[in-house]
Amino acid sequence: MNRQIVLIVDDEPEFREAIAERIRLRGMEPLAAPDGDAALAALRSARVDMAIVDYVMPGMDGLVTVTKLREINPGLRTVLLTGKGGDKVRQASEALDTPYFDKADMAAFWEFVQRVQAGGTSQAPVGAPGPGTAAPGALSAPRPPAGFPAPAPAPATPVAGAPAGADAAAPRRTGLSIDSRPGPLNKRLLGQTPVMRDLFEKIAKLAVLDCSVLLLGETGTGKATIARTIHELNPRATGPFLGVDCQMFNADLLAQELFGLEVQRPEGPAAVRRGLIEDARGGAIFLDEIGALAPATQNRLAGLVDSQSFTREGGGGEVVAEVRILAASSGDLEGAVARGFFREDLYARLATYVLRVPPLRERAEDIPLISRYFLHKYAAEFETGVRHISGAALERLMGYSFPGNVRELESIIESAVITAEGATILPEHLPELDPSPRAALHAPSGETLVTLAEVEDAYIRQVIAATKGNKNLASDILGISRSSLWRKLKRMNGDF
């Protein structure tokens, strides 16, 4: 039987060697790495059953290292060693589903190692098929995250539409099946492409800080999900996380929603209605579509960021906020600053750290992983027997540019799960997906260019047609409220 391999990541040579020697005495094989980069290289080239990672290291710290190790091998068991401890470490380890132990009390750590060794967990090296590994080209569900029990082995499921004994490595695209837990990362933050790995690394670095963050990206790319993840990895995670779409309210209502309201009475104390900022005290507030703020609200928000205090609408006294501000925009916020529509100083305060979220078309290789997640989610929610996406249906999804991004993909899979009559989603269960839905909107050289309003109108009509007039689904894909969509359709005089 192969000995279990333990990766030890620590920048202190003496401590690293002491752990390695104890690992050898326990009959396991140590694999040492002085930093995060060396650990990633080791995991890519060798079979590893468990990684022991120092929390504090120069360069790539323990949290980032664990995050990147799990991106390479989602099923890897990881553990943090720290000399600092505290709520910050505890909350971060819980968010990463990674236990941690204090270096000053190693007895508990070695008891943990003994339990892991007794469990006999073993995984194939990344990129090398082992017993039970899917054949090359097959798309199987990833291993469950560390800390979750492994699902019971499922009987082999043939690729939808393939004849018995067909070669799984055939050049055509294979389908997707639900055969284990969906996705290697928590909730809906999914991706394995280099651009997403870079984004995850940035999230892990800034999440434990307490600065403002500005998320920039197209509608439907998952900015709200990223904002919530940042909050959940922060020491403020025990506090509330509240969000508001700034374009959903007019200026007066939004000010009351954010800052609250005081109504003075002739006799007795004022009637007070708390706003979201006050309710989020000790946690974080997420301001989506921050560019829609009216100038007066921008002024008040700038004061809030500076002083962490504010006054309610109609009130006179200062209210302490103590809240982290996370903001997002799908528009050209820098352009709005240049044109004088958005305060430059407020932009600078919010953009302490800027995260640019890529559109789905720039990470198309993630579409199978995300599709599997939504397939699993809605098959369970609707209690249907749908468990597969055929290769032909997946091919159509992969060839589409998704102007509505992840939100549009989710809506398509949800609808397909509902309409599929058997266990497999087929191409006929998908809407018409133009391989280049925006091509008609880009005028070639020599033709008359159209206005921005005409481009918007054309795209709205396209989404309405693709959703067969379903305005709830269309508004979700467009990233606007149903009332906003209704106003736009009324302006267009469309017969919908």
Task: Give domain limits for the chain.
Answer: 5-119, 212-351, 369-492
95-104, 281-290, 381-390: the lowest-pLDDT one:
95-104
Burial 421-455 (b: 16+ CB within 10 A, else e): eeebbbeebbbebeeebeeeeeeeeeeeeeeeeee
Helical packing angle, 251-259 and 295-307, nearest 10°: 20
Q: Left, alpha or beta for 479 (phi > 0: left; psi -120 to 50: alpha)?
A: left
Maximum pairwise Cα distance, the chain? 85
Residue 268 binned pLDDT confidence (cut-offs 50, 70, 90): confident
Indicate whether 181 pLDDT > 50: no
What pLDDT does 85 receive? 59
Indicate whether 468 pLDDT > 90: no
Assigned CATH for 369-492: 1.10.8.60
Indicate whether 234 pLDDT > 80: yes
**Residue 87 class from Cβ within 10 Å (0-12 exposed, 13-18 middle, 19+ buried)?**
exposed
What pLDDT does 294 receive? 92
Q: What is the DSSP letter of 50?
A: E
| Global confidence as pTM | 0.56
Indicate whether 364 pLDDT > 80: yes
Indicate whether 451 pLDDT > 70: no
Indicate whether 341 pLDDT > 70: yes
Residue-wise pLDDT for 109-139, tens only, equals 888 888 887 764 333 233 222 323 322 222 2
Is-same-fold flag (212-351; 369-492)?
no
Given this structure, which CATH class describes domain 212-351? Answer: alpha beta
Residue 191 binned pLDDT confidence (cut-offs 50, 70, 90): confident
Pairing label, strands 100-102, 353-356: unpaired
What percentage of the chain has pLDDT greater than the value 70? 77
- 172, 391 contact by CB (below 8 A): yes
User: Which residues have CB under 8 Å from 405's CB, separation 6+?
Assistant: 218, 219, 220, 221, 222, 359, 360
Beta bridge partners of 9: 33, 53
3-state SS assignment for residue 84: coil
- 459, 492 contact by CB (below 8 A): no
- 288, 244 contact by CB (below 8 A): yes
Quickly list DSSP for 406-448: HHHHHHHHHHHHHH--SSEE-GGGSPP--SSTTGGGSPPTTSP
What percentage of the chain has pLDDT greater than the value 90? 29
Sign of the alpha-carbon torsion through 364, 373, 477, 254: negative
Distance (Å, whole) CA 188 – CA 227:
12
Distance (Å, whole) CA 446 – CA 444:
6
**Residue 388 class from Cβ within 10 Å (0-12 exposed, 13-18 middle, 19+ buried)?**
buried
The average pLDDT across 364-393 equals 90
Mean pLDDT of the chain: 78
Higher pLDDT, 473 or 354: 354
Superfamily of segment(s) 5-119? Response regulator (3.40.50.2300)
| CA triple 476-481-482, angle to 5 deg | 90
